[in-house]
Amino acid sequence: MNEEVINGFESPSELRDLMGEPMDLAVRKSVSKLDKYSKEYISRSPFVCIGSADETGKADVSPRGDPPGFVQVLDDNTLFIPDRPGNRRVDSMSNIISNPNIALLFLIPGFDDTLRVNGRAEVVQDDGLNTKSEVKGRKPKVGIKMHVEQVFFHCSKAFKRSGLWDVSNQQDRKEMPSIGRIILKQTADPNSTISESVLEEVDELVEEGYRTELY
């Protein structure tokens, strides 16, 4: 039997030598500000992922969602992302305070291409911006103001490979336990037994949160 050969890379240049140079257009498509196309994409997007890291480089990615256009375009180089009620871990915002470098990935249902925006951010309490982000009579306490440094559209290959928006690829969520049950079992004593009534109660608490605490 032949032993599997695994090669690691010690420098970006080693990886570049293997992969080759990117197409010229792939390099030039990166711009330093928001144009009419990226602004329209953001105005249509109901979902964005925020990539951040703390001062040691420990990384995190957090999803944010709201009605389309919830991320405010303040000008060609500035965005505002409202914070909504959640689990109060504040991972992304804590990271931003320690290390302002962040990356955004915007998605639009039905679009196979995505928009990537990189830059620096700060956590702000701005009553004017919070008021503009009000939903159902509730406005956020804080938000993330991002100073854009790099913007580019990402092609559709990942979405075409995955068939993400293809209805025939949808899986039955009931094939796995609910998120409440998963977390409860992950955090429980492995030697303990959790009754079905307790699991049902946790499921109801999660659903109640969805009904009453989205905003």
Compute the average pLDDT of residues 31-55: 98
> pLDDT tens for residues 200-209?
999 999 999 9
Element (H, E) at 116: strand 114-124
pLDDT at 194: 94
Residue type, 63: P
Split at pLDDT 50, 70, 90, the class of 4 is confident
φ, ψ (nearest 5 deg) of residue 28:
-75, -20
Residue 106 has pLDDT above 90, yes or no: yes
| 144 SS3 class | strand
> How far apart, in whole angstroms, are the C-alpha atoms of residue 70 and residue 140?
12
What domains are there in the chain, each with its CATH number? Answer: 12-162 (2.30.110.10), 171-212 (no CATH)
Split at pLDDT 50, 70, 90, the class of 111 is very high
Q: Is the CB of residue 214 less than 8 Å from the CB of residue 137?
A: no
Q: What is the dihedral of CA 129, 131, 132, 138, to 10 degrees?
A: 130
Paired sense of beta strands 101-107 and 47-53, if any: antiparallel
pLDDT at 211: 92
Compute the average pLDDT of residues 55-73: 97
> How far apart, in whole angstroms, are the C-alpha atoms of residue 98 and residue 92?
10
Residue 7 has pLDDT above 90, yes or no: no
> pLDDT tens for residues 116-168?
999 999 999 999 999 999 999 999 999 999 999 999 999 999 999 999 999 99
pLDDT at 2: 62
pLDDT at 156: 96
pLDDT at 66: 97
Which CA distances in Å does 181 have to 42, 153, 184, 191, 212? Answer: 35, 38, 5, 16, 20
Residue 110 has pLDDT above 70, yes or no: yes
Residue type, 191: N
Residue 56 has pLDDT above 60, yes or no: yes
Encoded tokens for 49: 């992922």
pLDDT at 1: 55
Split at pLDDT 50, 70, 90, the class of 33 is very high
Split at pLDDT 50, 70, 90, the class of 79 is very high
Percent of the chain residues topping a pLDDT of 70: 99
